[in-house]
């Protein structure tokens, strides 16, 4: 199983659950690219739509679709998975130090 943003998110949710947090479910945001604030970026949906050049607004699967499908079939990511991105600043993974000395 390769690395990807959906896998990273599920990895962190699994860690929270293993640490005793009552994780009741997981919903990936967003189904399609989420255009906000008058911009057509960033693109982070499971499906992308080229609103500037495609009048039919055809949805195209991104690599995240296969990742999400694999995660659902496996009921999570494996214990040997390591995220492609470091924990964000002010994270519970790194504790209080991350709020005092954030990663830039």
From first to last of its 104 residues, the chain has per-residue pLDDT tens of 566 778 888 998 998 888 888 988 888 888 888 777 777 777 778 999 888 899 999 999 998 899 889 999 999 999 899 888 777 665 555 555 545 554 44
Instruction: Quote the pTM value.
Output: 0.66
Quote the pLDDT of residue 66.
92
Per the DSSP assignment, residues forming a β-bridge with 32 are: 47
Domain of residue 51, residue span: 5-100
Question: What pLDDT shows up at residue 71?
Answer: 92
Do the Cβ atoms of 70 and 2 come closer than 8 Å?
no
**E-assigned strand segments in 1-104:** 47-48, 60-61
Domain count, the chain: 1
């Amino acid at each position: 199983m390769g690395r990807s943003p959906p896998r990273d998110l599920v990895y962190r949710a699994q860690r929270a659950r293993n640490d005793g947090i009552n994780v009741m479910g997981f919903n990936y945001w967003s189904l399609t690219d989420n255009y906000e604030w008058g911009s057509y970026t960033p693109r982070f949906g499971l499906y992308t739509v080229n609103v500037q050049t495609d009048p039919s607004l055809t949805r195209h699967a991104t690599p995240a679709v296969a990742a999400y499908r694999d995660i659902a079939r496996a009921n999570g990511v494996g214990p040997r998975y390591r995220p492609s991105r470091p924990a964000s600043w002010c994270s519970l993974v790194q504790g209080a130090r991350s709020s005092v000395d954030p990663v830039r």
